[in-house]
């Protein structure tokens, strides 16, 4: 195939929202060579200016209507905040565009289920970035479990505690930490179990006397009897001199175990089965946007949706359970520990970091001992 034919074969996409996540998608699509990034849209002038600098071959627009009305655009990437997502998905379906969306897929549960209904009644391909499903480590562990190496799946334990986003830092419609970030862990736990949640009991803490719990631990059962516990919080040493984190997956069967830890650079998987013991170390992989984009490109090119692509329904279910577990914390003792003065110190420190998103987003080398610049 000659160069011109290769260019013509690329999938034409319009990126809507060129913030942090939008730039991740732009980078992954640019590197893959499979995408023609025809448009980049953002309402923020600085973001549009950055887009012009990074992607001079793209048309940079403020009004996304131009993207939807261009019949040559096959795919739209929706990477703005959740309050605009349902309207954009509705418009994408009306104009016949395939959809890649960030989560949550709308700003309220009512609207999320409307999005599910809209997309499932359409013949267009749509997916949402439940990024843990695309990680090499989770797929490796799930395949090992499927092979029967740990016997019957019995217990799923997942923990993700980092400094991360402090209250009031960019959540808006994404919700408190256990919804904004925690819904990924609610989703991947259900993915392992292979069925829906049956019982739960959640405990939270209103750290720094903030109105919402910023640390939540929830345990319970699935319909098939598998037991789970999920711990998530952006409360882990926010003002410590050298910041750290604690992230792991620990899956226990009737005969063996699989587990994973990571430092945002390297993931380590230990597989202790009845027939073999394996230790695998590979690069962590971050948000795995490249995997999602490749699976989606395959689906568009073949006209057949990859079974590995998360469904809008998967996102809505994870979102609903995350909200349910958060609500359950309020049925129990919900202590408030600390004060808002400490919270403001945390916000100030994070404003002065080179990367204010901190360990949650895998930039450990940039923020270790950030006070000693």
Q: What is the pLDDT of residues 93-113, one digit of tens each?
A: 999 999 999 999 999 999 999
Q: Could you tell me how far CA 181 lies from the centroid of its own chain? A: 7
Write the DSSP symbol of residue 218: E
- For 169, counting Cβ atoms within 10 Å of its Cβ (0-12 exposed, 13-18 middle, 19+ buried), the class is middle
At residue 176, does pLDDT exceed 80? Answer: yes
43-61 pLDDT, tens digit per residue, is 999 999 999 999 999 999 9
- pLDDT beyond 60 at 360: no
- Estimate the crossing angle of helix 20-32 against helix 45-54, to 10 degrees: 20
Structure tokens at 220: 């319970």
Cβ pair 303, 169 in contact under 8 A: no
Q: Is the pLDDT of residue 361 over 50?
A: no
Mark residue 33 as left, alpha or beta (left: phi above 0; alpha: psi -120 to 50; beta: remaining): left
Predicted local distance difference test score (pLDDT) of residue 358: 45
Buried b (16+ CB within 10 A) or exposed e, 312-324: bbbbbbbbbbbbe
**Least confident piece of the model among 7-11, 236-240, 318-322:** 7-11
Phi, psi of 348 (to 5 degrees): -65, -45
Tokens standing for residue 350: 């994070």
User: 295 — phi, psi (to 5°)?
Assistant: -60, -40
Crossing angle of helices 109-120 and 312-329, rounded to 10°? 160
H-only helix segments in 79-181: 85-94, 109-120, 136-146, 177-180
> Average pLDDT over the chain, rounded to whole?
92
Q: What is the pLDDT of residues 144-157, one digit of tens each?
A: 999 999 999 999 99
**pLDDT range class, residue 170, cuts 50, 70, 90:** low
In terms of Cβ atoms closer than 10 Å to its own Cβ (0-12, 13-18, 19+), residue 181 is: buried
pLDDT at 339: 97
The candidate with the shortest Cα–Cα distance to 227, out of 154, 322, 150, is: 154
Query: What pLDDT sits at residue 355?
Result: 52
């Amino acid at each position: 195939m000659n160069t011109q034919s290769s260019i013509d074969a690329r999938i034409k996409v319009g990126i809507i929202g060129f913030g942090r996540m939008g730039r991740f998608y732009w980078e992954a699509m640019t590197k893959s060579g499979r995408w023609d990034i025809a448009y980049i849209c953002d309402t923020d002038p600085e973001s549009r200016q950055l887009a012009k600098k990074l992607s001079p071959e793209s048309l940079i627009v403020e009004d996304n209507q131009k993207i939807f009305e261009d019949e040559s655009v096959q795919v739209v990437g929706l990477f703005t905040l959740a309050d605009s997502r349902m309207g954009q998905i509705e418009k994408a379906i009306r104009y016949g565009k395939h959809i890649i969306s960030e989560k949550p897929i709308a700003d309220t549960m009512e609207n999320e289920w409307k999005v599910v209904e809209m997309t499932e009644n359409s013949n267009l391909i749509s997916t949402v970035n439940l990024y843990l499903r695309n990680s090499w480590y989770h797929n490796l562990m799930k395949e090992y479990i499927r092979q029967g190496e740990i016997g019957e799946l019995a217990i799923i334990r997942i923990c993700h505690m980092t400094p991360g986003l402090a209250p009031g830092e960019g959540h808006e419609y994404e919700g408190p930490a256990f919804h904004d970030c925690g819904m990924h862990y609610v989703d991947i736990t259900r993915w392992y179990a292979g069925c829906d949640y049956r019982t739960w009991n959640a405990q939270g803490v209103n750290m720094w006397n903030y109105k919402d719990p910023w640390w939540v631990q929830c345990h319970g059962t699935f319909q098939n009897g598998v037991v789970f516990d999920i711990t998530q919080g952006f409360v882990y040493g926010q003002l410590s001199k050298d910041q750290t984190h604690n992230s792991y997956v620990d899956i226990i069967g009737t005969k063996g175990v699989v587990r994973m830890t990571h430092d945002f650079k390297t993931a380590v998987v230990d597989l202790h089965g009845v027939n073999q013991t394996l230790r695998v170390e590979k690069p962590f992989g971050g948000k795995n946007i490249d995997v999602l984009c490749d699976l989606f490109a395959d689906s568009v090119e073949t006209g057949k949706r990859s079974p590995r692509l998360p469904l809008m329904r998967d996102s809505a279910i994870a979102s609903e359970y995350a909200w349910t577990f958060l609500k359950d914390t309020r049925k129990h003792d919900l202590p408030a520990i600390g004060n808002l003065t400490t919270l403001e110190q945390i916000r100030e420190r994070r404003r002065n970091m080179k990367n204010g998103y901190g360990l949650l987003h895998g930039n450990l080398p940039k923020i270790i001992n950030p006070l000693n610049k």
